[in-house]
Chain A
């Protein structure tokens, strides 16, 4: 258990950041700000993917971002990129 904690120690601050992004996304969802929620989910997903190499979590969050992004009103502007 202790060794597991020590292995994860360098990444703990990244995991904390990711959890904050997910909380932000959930708050945006409650406020019906779909675009911001999708972006927050996508950021969390990219951090899982690139920083922690946690592919399963990254894919789940990207899927969530995709589903949320599909809720945009048709009149709303798309992402610039």
Chain B
């Protein structure tokens, strides 16, 4: 019963959170883009990377609003470079997270997983204040690995263990326990064990009670379910 309710609510959440406003807005207008590009190039010539990054970020957000994820990702990557040149670590992290989020939204799970791992390893664990957020990036990266089309459970297991070694906070977190449980269920499913449907739903339900999933997590879990369980049910 809980299983059906959970997946119905997941489905409702995903479709409720599709941005409805600005759907018909074409994109940032060409003239506006041309002027702001000129401003960015002038700021870069003057080595004022902070101002250049702010304008580039505005362009990227406009692209994202118009649901043009490909170009938004490219713009956010350039913004990251500018912020890095201006030595603004917090903004670098913010833009990298945005790139990871957009890659996940556009269905590029491989690249999104790599981006999340890169964020955790090279940015979050390096700084005292952001190291507590690394566990969330590792969690998302491993969920993304599980949601790939050609999901290799051995690789997921390896990445999970590497992440646990890198960050002891992740190792002792509820998220890590949840991922271990899900991985165990998927391995059991491959070995044709029974009653795994119920276990999968129970783990999701328990974790959701403690830390509610966001829209991307729910989308990934729905995809993991459809990849692994639907094929079993067809057989």
Are A63 and B55 touching (Cβ within 8 A)? yes
Give the shortest distance, in Å, between A13 (CB) and chain B (any CB): 23
Q: Is A28 an interface residue (CB 8 A)?
A: no
Query: CB within 8 Å of A: which of B27-71?
Result: 28-36, 38-39, 42-43, 45-46, 48, 51, 55, 62
Which secondary structure dominates chain A's binding surface? helix
Q: Is A22 an interface residue (CB 8 A)?
A: no
Name the residue of chain B whose CB is nearest to the CB of A72: B29
Known A-B contacts A69-B29, A72-B29; the reply to A56 vs B46 at CB < 8 A is yes
Known A-B contacts A67-B32, A78-B30, A78-B31; the reply to A45 vs B45 at CB < 8 A is no
Query: CB within 8 Å of B: which of A48-72?
Result: 49, 55-56, 58-60, 62-63, 65-67, 69-70, 72
Place the interface of chain A in its size category: 20 to 34
Query: CB within 8 Å of B: which of A27-60?
Result: 35, 38, 41-42, 45, 49, 55-56, 58-60
Q: Is B24 an interface residue (CB 8 A)?
A: yes
Q: Is B212 an interface residue (CB 8 A)?
A: no
Separation of A71 and B62 alpha carbons in the complex (Å) = 12
Separation of A41 and B106 alpha carbons in the complex (Å) = 37
Identify the interface centre among A41, A55, A66, A78: most chain B CB within 10 Å of its CB.
Answer: A66
Are A45 and B30 touching (Cβ within 8 A)? no
Are B36 and A79 touching (Cβ within 8 A)? no
Q: Which of A49, A59, A69 contacts B32, CB < 8 Å?
A: A69
Contacts of A72 in B (CB 8 A): 29, 31-32
Give the shortest distance, in Å, between B36 (CB) and chain A (any CB): 4
Contacts of A65 in B (CB 8 A): 35
Identify the interface centre among A56, A58, A59, A72: most chain B CB within 10 Å of its CB.
Answer: A59
Separation of A62 and B42 alpha carbons in the complex (Å) = 9
Q: Which 7 A-B pairs have the closest CB atoms?
A: A66-B36, A62-B39, A66-B35, A69-B32, A70-B32, A59-B42, A65-B35
Knowing that A38-B32, A62-B39, A69-B29 are A-B contacts, what are 6 other residue pairs whose CB atoms are under 8 Å apart, sorted by A's residue number? A55-B46, A58-B42, A62-B38, A66-B36, A72-B29, A72-B31
Q: What are 17 A-B pairs at a CB distance below 8 A? A: A45-B39, A58-B42, A59-B38, A59-B42, A59-B43, A59-B48, A62-B35, A62-B38, A62-B42, A63-B36, A66-B33, A66-B34, A67-B32, A69-B29, A70-B32, A74-B26, A78-B29
